[in-house]
Every structure is written in C-alpha cells, then in structure tokens.
Amino acid sequence: MMHPLQEMIERRKNGEMCGIPSYCTANELALEAILEHAKETGEPVLIEATANQINQFGGYTGMTPQDFMNFIKKIADKIGVDEKLLILGGDHLGPLTWVNEPEASAMEKSRELVKLFVLAGFTKIHLDTSMKLGDDSVSEPLATEVIARRGVELYKVCIEAYEELKKNKPDAMRPVFVIGSEVPIPGGAQEAEEGISVTKVEDFDGTVSTYQRIFEENGLADAWNDVIAVVVQPGVEFGDAQVFLYDRAEAASLCGGLSKYPGIVFEGHSTDYQTKEALREMVEDGIAILKVGPALTFGLCGALYALEAIENALIPEEKRSHFAETLDRVMVEKPNNWQKHYSGTEEEKAFARKYSFSDRSRYYMGEKEVADAIDKLLHNLSEVKIPASILHRCMPLQYEKVMSGQIEADPRVLAKDGVLQFVMDYEYAVN
C-alpha cells in the first residue's frame, strides 16, 4: 500500500502540479477548523507535531506521541472525519530539545523519541539531526557526514519500530521520511534579518549524496525509497513584523536541481503569511510540502480579539471574558515561552505579545485561565444575537460569509474561520 505522500509525488511525475499543506498546531479550535474542512473536501490532511511540542517527557503540551495521536483521533471522531484521511507527522525529530547534552545521551533520547512516534502511528517522519550537541566542536560547522550518520541511525530505529508495530497492526502504513533542515528553530526567525539565503544547489546535492552513501554503508541501499522530501530554505521566512516573500527567480537554481531526483520533493518550512500566489508558485517549483504553524493560531487569536470587541459592545462589564487582558497577564507571569523571542522596550514587548507573527501566545492558549476566558467569550456571544452591523465593523470577511449563507454567525464558527482564512490560501496553492 503506497503512502498518500508517495501517491502525491507520483501524480507530480505525471505532470499534475499538486502538493499538500502540513498543519503544525496543537490548538483544539484550530484543529477542529482544519479537520472540519478535511471532512468537507474528502482530501487527506497532514497534521504535524514538533519534538518540542510532544515527546517522551511531554513537551510543552504535556503530551507524548501516543497522547497526541489520541487527541487528534478524538477530535476527528467528534467531527466524523474518516481516519483514513489523517496523516500524522513528526517534525524536527532528533536531539532538538537535548542540544546541551553530549552525543551519547542526546541520541539515546532521540532514538526513544522516534520509536514512540512510529509506534503511535505517525507515518511522516522528519529526521532532523542538524544541530550541534554538547560535545561537538563549537568553532567548526557540523559536518554533513555527522548529520547523515545520526539521521541514518534514527532511520534504523524507526524501521525497527515499524516492524514491531506490524505485529499487532498488520495493515500499518510504512512511514516515509524527510531529511535536511535548512531552517531556524521551529516557529520562525527570532528577529528580523537583512535577507534570507536560499539553499545552494550543491549543498542540497551534498545532503542527498551523503545520505545515500551512508544508507549503503549500513546495508540499507533501499532506504532511499522511503525518503520523500528534503527540507531546504527556498527564501521564505517571517519575523515579528515582516515577511520574506518567495522569489522564484532567486530559488530557480535550487529548484532546477530537483529534476535529478524524481522520487522526492522539497519541503518548505516557515511558509506562514506568504500570499496564496507565492504559495502556488512554490508548489509549481517543487516545494510541494508547505509547513504552516504560527499563522493558524495568529488567525485564531485575531478572530478572538475581534469577537472580544463585539463582546465589549454587547455584554455588560461584569459579565465579560476579558480574554486579551487575561492572555497578556498570564504571558507576563510565565514568560519562558516568549522572553527569548521578543526584545525592545516594555511597550515593544507588549506589542509583540499581541501582534507578533511568531505568535508565541499559542503556547498559552491551553493555560486554564486563558482557556476559561476563551470559553466565557464564546459562551457570552452564544447567548446574544450578533447584529450584522457590528459583525461588519469587527469581522468584515466573516460578515460577507454570513450574509451569503456560507457560515453561521455563531461565535465558535466565527473564531474558527480566522484559521480557515489561512487554510484556504494553502488549499488554493496545492490544488
């Protein structure tokens, strides 16, 4: 049985300019929006989690790979999404969260990490061993040979875990793999840059040839058939308040180099906030897997802020949710997930907490006080009829959809439409 992502590559070989978005979020409202849309289209949906989101120690979500799989399936079951449409991926799997440890302990934890992802049923595995570890040289770049050796080591663990999984689930899908990592840490650039350097085609070739050689040296010549994509930097990125748009002329040499490898595509990370036309050009040029993460909760937060403006106009002061105030207070009280990413004056940091494209607020949406405020906001507005006039003023895009009968003026639906604004750009690009 061919993996859906391998089927996508076969379609591209036959001349079809198709691709797939990769949605990286653990936010329940965002996931509901994505899965409801998948139910409508009947198309496969790829949802990914990074190694810092979920791991054997819980990650920042408090979930293990199996917990996250159960979480997704519970939402899918509630919505009525066919489980066969779900593709679960693990992103940046490797020693990402243990870079300060020596290779021996960091890789031991990495082996356990990838094993748990595969045993839980994740079938798209991004092997990322591109980061230096505690006993690597601080003065020299990490050699491609070292990156590939560590990556192949994790590949072997994944295949062993898959064989173990098949004993209890004979029809389990064989995982496919993504290698390479010419991107910043998950979540976007930490600060503005003068420009983005596109991956050199010779560096891409070097990654591929080194992996192929080390696979062969380990008696795994057929392993390359399991690799479907290489992560590259095609020249897209975002900072707190800026977006570097895709320039296909700048990426032409890199994308032209893909023709030597018909069985793989490029995976583009940090594609958040690109225009839909830029995203389509990326797919046409071979960047067929488009990762999006912070934009999803940025869109959700924007919708929640707009709904709070409506709440302030319709609900008495003593009954209001105070969502924005609660979110910012909790972020200030627990700054670990944003303080390394936002800089400047106190006013500039306050602005970033609310409006930064990197949307570090996503780390706080599950905090009880914040979640309670969101629930209260949605409940308050479900108890009143939202006048069309104020909907037009605060949420003009959603107003148009409500008036044309596409969606209801239900606060939960309106909130999730903030996510769908981004989802639809990706749908346009890949279809």
Residues 234, 246 contacting (CB under 8 angstroms): yes
Residues 197-210: tens digit of each pLDDT: 999 999 999 999 99
* The pTM of the whole model exceeds 0.75: yes
Q: Which CATH class is domain 297-418?
A: mainly alpha
Instruction: Give first-to-last CA distance, the chain, whole Å.
Output: 23
Question: How confident is the prediction along the chain (431 residues), in pLDDT tens digits per residue?
Answer: 899 999 999 999 999 999 999 999 999 999 999 999 999 999 999 999 999 999 999 999 999 999 999 999 999 999 999 999 999 999 999 999 999 999 999 999 999 999 999 999 999 999 999 999 999 999 999 999 999 999 999 999 999 999 999 999 999 999 999 999 875 445 445 444 456 899 999 999 999 999 999 999 999 999 999 999 999 999 999 999 999 999 999 999 999 999 999 999 999 999 999 999 999 999 999 999 999 999 999 999 999 999 999 999 999 999 999 999 999 999 999 999 999 999 999 999 999 999 999 999 999 999 999 999 999 999 999 999 999 999 999 999 999 999 999 999 999 999 999 999 999 999 999 99
Helix (H/G/I), strand (E/B), else coil: 14:
coil
Ranges of CATH 1.10.400.20 domains, the chain: 297-418
User: In the structure encoding, which two tokens stand for residue 178, read together?
Assistant: 């993504």
Residues 240-256: tens digit of each pLDDT: 999 999 999 999 999 99
Residues 152, 211 contacting (CB under 8 angstroms): yes
- Does domain 4-292 bear CATH number 3.90.400.10? no
List phi, psi (to 5°) of 86: -85, 125
CA-to-CA distance for 281 and 35, rounded, in angstroms? 25
The closest alpha carbon to 237, from 164, 159, 291, 175, belongs to 291
Ranges of CATH 3.20.20.70 domains, the chain: 4-292
CB atoms within 10 A of CB 239: 17
